Structure 1
């Protein structure tokens, strides 16, 4: 399959990765159909607008829709390349759920034709790409799938299936989709080469081929590595807190060692990747994934710790309104998936009701989970004027200019180290001001 400007590409799933990917492919000149199950998403994209917040994405989508290289639909159509970018959540017992991936495979099966390329981009447990192959083979026995015996397709062209995970940072998705190296794993070497030809059309970073199972594990390892390192910082912050030591000062000085690079602690770990993907490795080999499991438990426990520390501060100021700064899982984005800040704020709202004021510049309204709590959404200026207690959960840029230094009369629990001028103190109330 030559990858030319008239190549037809179907991207299944128009979320935080699917829509930017579809728009970049369309910008390269290929004809792209974005498929989603949500009518609002389809209508929004077809009008040249976006339903997610991402730097420069709105202008890109508007342009490629206007040029006719991107359109959206609720229905699948024949294509040359199919890119699956759907969610892969975990269940309550942390087991991976690949039902959306398999549903996407069932969606594309009826329109597959010999010579097509199927690429899975969703973060997945090891073996998922082969599960997609098996699902397609069961639905289309007339086509030969990679790594299986020849059947009704004879010796003619077969379907190529590969795995190529994204490795992007929200807020820089368009830049990193183009410039970051890509790891492309094929079920067979031929599958990898076919997918490689496709990605070279719009990726400037180096495209490196391997097998599908290795590529699946690469993605999980990248996010587990970060989770383990964040867990060290979060555990360190609790230890420093109990010892009455300023954790931010400790990390700043320790990082002056040429071979030490401690990350910054926070209220936990969020996002669809780092907070979820390590469980895929734990589920795949629970006996030998001891450090990875412990890191997950440490980061989850940090959220509980923050709730209790914030509650202590709030209880010590019974007449004060409380401003929770930030709900997103990281600064300067509107993504609330697996956000520890959101969980902290929800638990405080359930405990303290109308005393809780939420400040989130990237939200137009509160999530439905706050219904009935009495909590309200306000802006940062209102918070400064009306709230006596501040619980800083996300280091959005707009918060860093808030005057909460040693001269402020606010009681502050800063989980992100945004106000370094606040002094550490041996007294419990002041120590909370600098707690990690």
Structure 2
């Protein structure tokens, strides 16, 4: 770590990446102005509280707000450096990247830019997004020069530095993980690296361009997606051949050069379920394996739904006097991964949503990490106690491996129940 050349920076977007990043810079005694369109988030942060769940984040935010190093607002203010950490969702049904949030953030900061400022795009983005952002800024501020035309002599420096952290360990990995930095010129890269080294202990590795840095992040998550798809496809094959996929994977992994991942109900989150489509959108004719892996993982929730439907049918056959409304399904977990509150792109949430909408059964959501159910689960019952849910349900659908659902605790509770272990919780 080194002393920062920046005295005041601004972080645009105070979500799961932006707020921890803002807090980390503020913890190094840099004045940070956080900007978000969500007034509730702004007010919460200014009270020294957090609107998201992430271990240790609340303590850091409370400290840096009370010390005066972090405050939040809805309107951008002048700063020496700007970090944009806003969503990059899809638009339409073809998984085309939606850059409207990045464009809105760029146009919001454009009026307060000054010569010598640094603008870093942290949002995970399709290839070319950083250059597009630079063009939007240049169009909004023709009085300033930008690196796409002025090169090293530009008034404004622009770079891409994608986040590379794991939810649940963000505060640790922001510090220790290596960062890939792709500036539009060498000076842009150097200035961005100087900013991050104020708290990053990992290496700040310079890519040859923003495009390479963008592609690096997309490649990392596509690699993981392809490997998860292999495990998920094995689970479908094993079901067809009446084998235990977890036993199969355990045996195959005894080979010294084999390391198959574990299957699950699908793939969720704001990265692995999204980033591969950005590569597909950039090179649709070449990204055949990446597209197929996405299709395998996106289809896994449908297979889980089919298992539940079969369990409902079996339950009704065993007692012909019962109707679906007499059956209770306990769904264990709806977040996209274990021990967090994040529902973004969660396959488990999509599965439970369909059960609530179409099964005509009573649906319990066993989720210790959220305080209320999202609107799409209206009609379901939120239960925090696995023991209570296990006693009351006819069918147990195991989706997310929260620590409260460990197999040694769940197994005896589910004796005599129809269990669908889509997440491998009992293995």
TM-score in terms of structure 2 length: 0.94
Distance in 1 separating the partners of 2:414 and 2:377: 33
CA contact (8 A) 1:182 1:207 kept: yes
Q: In structure 2, what is the Cα distance between the partners aligned to 1:113 and 1:6?
A: 14
Cross-structure match for 2:89:
89
- The aligned residue for residue 388 of structure 2 is 382
List runs of 5+ in structure 2 lacking aligned partners.
Answer: 317-325
Match of 1:23 in 2: 23
Please say if residues 396 and 414 of structure 2, whose CA atoms lie closer than 8 Å, have aligned partners that are also in contact.
no
Matched residue count: 413
Counterpart contact for 2:6–2:81, Cα < 8 Å: no
CA distance, structure 2, for counterparts of residue 126 and residue 23 of structure 1 = 28
8 Å Cα contact 1:32-1:69 kept in structure 2: yes
- In structure 1, runs of 5+ residues without a counterpart are 421-436
Q: Quote the residue 1:169 is aligned against.
A: 166
Equivalent runs, 1:255-404 vs 2, <5 Å: 255-318=253-316, 319-371=326-378, 374-379=379-384, 380-400=386-406, 401-404=408-411
| Aligned-partner SS, 2:147 | coil
d(CA) in 2 for partners of 1:121 and 1:312? 44
Of residues 273-282 and 311-320 in structure 1, the stretch that sits farther from structure 2 once superposed is 311-320
**Alignment match, 2:425:** 418
Change (3 A) 1:212 1:407: closer
Q: Is contact 2:175-2:201 (8 Å) kept?
A: yes
Match of 2:112 in 1: 111
**Residues 275-296 of structure 1, C-alpha deviation per residue, up to 9 Å, x if partnerless?**
0010000000100000000000
Measured after TM superposition, the shift of residue 3 of structure 1 is 6.4
- Aligned partners of 1:253, 1:406: CA distance in 2, in Å? 28
Q: TM-score, normalised by structure 1?
A: 0.92
Task: Tell me, yes or no, if structure 1 residue 200 matches structure 2 residue 197.
Answer: yes
What's the RMSD between the two structures over aligned residues?
A: 1.6
Distance 1:76 1:403, change over 3 A: closer
Over residues 291-338 of structure 1, what are the superposed CA-to-partner deviations in whole Å (9 max), with x where a residue is unaligned? 000000000111111111111112212343110000000000000000
Q: Distance in 1 between matches of 2:4 and 2:150?
A: 30
Q: Secondary structure at the match of 2:148?
A: coil
- Structure 1, 208-217 or 319-328: larger mean CA deviation: 319-328
* Structure 1 SS opposite 2:90: coil
**d(CA) in 1 for partners of 2:387 and 2:373?**
18
Secondary structure of 2:175's aligned partner: helix
Q: CA deviation at 1:353?
A: 3.7
Quote the residue 1:424 is aligned against. none
SS of the aligned residue for 1:9 comes to: strand
Deviation sequence 1:114-154 (CA, Å, 0-9, x none): 1000000000000111011111111111111013048xxxx
Deviation at 1:156, TM superposition (A): 6.5
Counterpart-to-counterpart distance in 2, 1:185 and 1:250: 42
Q: Which runs of structure 1 show a deviation greater than 6 angstroms over 4 or more consecutive aligned residues? A: none
Supply the distance in 2 between the matched residues of 1:3 and 1:77 (Cα, whole angstroms).
23
The 1:9/1:311 distance shift into structure 2, 3 A limit, reads same
**Cα deviation 1:328-352 (Å, max 9, x = unaligned):** 0000000000000000011111122
Deviations 1:413-435 (A, max 9, x none): 00122213xxxxxxxxxxxxxxx
Q: Please list the CA deviations of residues 353-373 of structure 1 after superposition, one character each: whole Å capped at 9, or x if unmatched.
A: 4511111111111110122xx
Asked if 2 retains the 8 angstrom alpha-carbon contact of 1:404 and 1:410, the reply is no
1:194-231 CA-partner distances (Å, limit 9, x unpaired): 10110111111100111111000000000000000000
Match of residue 429 from structure 1: none
DSSP-derived class of the 1:402 partner: helix
